[in-house]
Amino acid sequence: MIGFLAVFGFVFALVFALMIYAKIFPESRKAIALIAVVIGFVTGLYEPAVAFILNIIPIAAIILVFIFFIVFVKKLFFPDLTDEEKAKGKKRDVWPAMVGMGVMLILINVFWDKISGYIGFSTVPGETILWLIGILITVMIIAIAYSVWGE
């Protein structure tokens, strides 16, 4: 039963999120949920799929977290302004993104010893990861500053 529930939940969440992101049936979330439930249920009942998905869930979860993080950062830093908002002179507010990145660096520093074993980087020191993420955030800040320079 645990295998069925894990696979059902994973497949349901994945299908539901992808269909919402792809804007399939945007007028009805109930239709999207029903499709995701059916796909999750059928996948959970098929034993070879359960065995396969249970083996890849830890790796897939890590990959999906990074993909969703990248999509989140993209939407946070480069929001899609409508033509009306552009006409009114609305500008992007990048301060929440900067604060979020700073908080993320602090949380990674605090919790690195605990999370590094889960993601397979237990031999990499936390300072190295903080340097890499800090350099990445600095490049992002420069890109944002350059993109809003004329605004």
Degrees to nearest 5, angle at CA 49 with 12 and 29: 15
Structure tokens at 89: 């002179």
Residue 37 is predicted with a pLDDT of: 93
Residue 91 is predicted with a pLDDT of: 61
Helix (H) or strand (E) holding 149: none
Question: What is the full DSSP assignment across 70-114?
Answer: HHHHHHHHS----HHHHHTT-----HHHHHHHHHHHHHHHHHHHH
* Better pLDDT: 6 or 82: 6
pLDDT digits (tens, 9 = 90+) for 100-120: 777 777 777 777 777 776 666
